[in-house]
Structure 1
């Protein structure tokens, strides 16, 4: 019985505050839209790829599974070397020391697929042209430095990052953020309904009154307007006034 009454009260609160609920959700979505449109900084991503080739000795000899496995292990090693301070320091000098090593480490991401000899270098930056420049500088610097580090010249640039001028940002994802704002708005709206329900101390039915207070309802008083009461009492007051005047 309590569950039915509570559910009924929730529905009644939702009906009475439906415009508040719509307003809260709309406010959250509108606020997120304005933030994405005028405040949030768009971030662009540029990618370049490096291919780990077979070394000259491996090409001259017969290829076998051990040689391929060794190259795959080198890919993991190279991925770590790309993010090392030695490479990033050279990249910093190539860019005219506009960024420190910590900033470069945060915007440069190195990834490689499983069992693949291709290394992906991704750079995220508010300016797509600068992102392409950093990605290409990183790939070029690594290609030049790896023979000095590993004594092996088996790395070539597979594809360079290019700037087209009509790139779309990868962050923030506007559609996802708007959906998230709507979801948060729904949660806030229902929290508002729940608080209103907790603060509501009125009884909605005779059965609820009898059950919660343990009292028996003997009768009900119908609701009436104040004007009806005034019209009912007013003639009596005039009659009383005339009687008092006669007595005087």
Structure 2
């Protein structure tokens, strides 16, 4: 039976500085610079430096490679918000890893890029009523149905393609160039001559 995975996610906002603009309008150049650095932040989150801290924080339950496979980092286009998500069979562990990753990134990023303005917008919560995100049973059933139909059609097509028997006298005349002089019917209830001979012998 396939394992069920639960997904937990948290969101963080990263700015280059926490200074308040003097004017009421937002400094567009600063915002644009922040947007260009979002991909860099995403790479740093899944770097060994951060994952090593996460591994220690969760008690060494998983190694760095396993954590890297579980953690997914995404960001919305033209947004400074970074979404960190973790898939794990245990929803409590998924929430723990997600929050630990965001916390370790927030702790280490000032030393890496001299940025001290990381805000956690939402933390992963364990409710006990989580629904698995994979495998998706409905999708798997639909795919299995279509694959079964495809295999059935392929089997029938190949069987017809490899069939070399003649089904009518017209096919014999067409493919062999011979004239059919007569046909012998198939007796469904047995050979009548044999049955007649058996009765006479009795």
The two structures share one fold, judged by TM-score above 0.5: yes
**1:153 corresponding residue in structure 2:** 116
1:137 matched residue in structure 2: 100
1:1-16 matches, within 5 Å, as none
Distance across 2 between alignment mates of 1:215 and 1:85: 79
Would you say the 8 A contact 2:16–2:116 is kept in 1?
no
State the SS of the aligned residue for 1:75.
helix
What does residue 69 of structure 2 align with? 106
Hey, what does 1:82 align to over in structure 2?
45
Which residue in the other structure is 2:194 paired with? Answer: 230
Q: Secondary structure at the match of 2:170?
A: helix
CA pair 163-234 structure 1, distance change in 2 beyond 3 A: closer
Query: Counterpart of 1:23?
Result: none
SS in 1 for 2:4: coil
Unmatched runs of 5 consecutive residues or more in structure 2: none
Larger Rg: 1
Once the 2 structures are TM-superposed, how far is the Cα of residue 184 of structure 1 from its aligned partner?
Answer: 1.8
Q: Alpha-carbon deviation of 1:182?
A: 1.5
Q: How far apart, CA to CA, are the structure 2 residues paired with 1:232 and 1:169?
A: 72
TM-score by length of 2: 0.89
Contact 2:15 2:115 in 1 (8 A): no
- Give 2:17's aligned residue: 55
Distance 2:4 2:58 in 1: 22
What are the ranges of 5 or more consecutive residues in structure 1 without an aligned counterpart?
A: 1-38, 239-248
Offset of residue 61 of structure 1:
3.5
Task: Return the match for 2:89 from 126, 138, 146.
Answer: 126
Q: CA deviation at 1:234?
A: 5.6
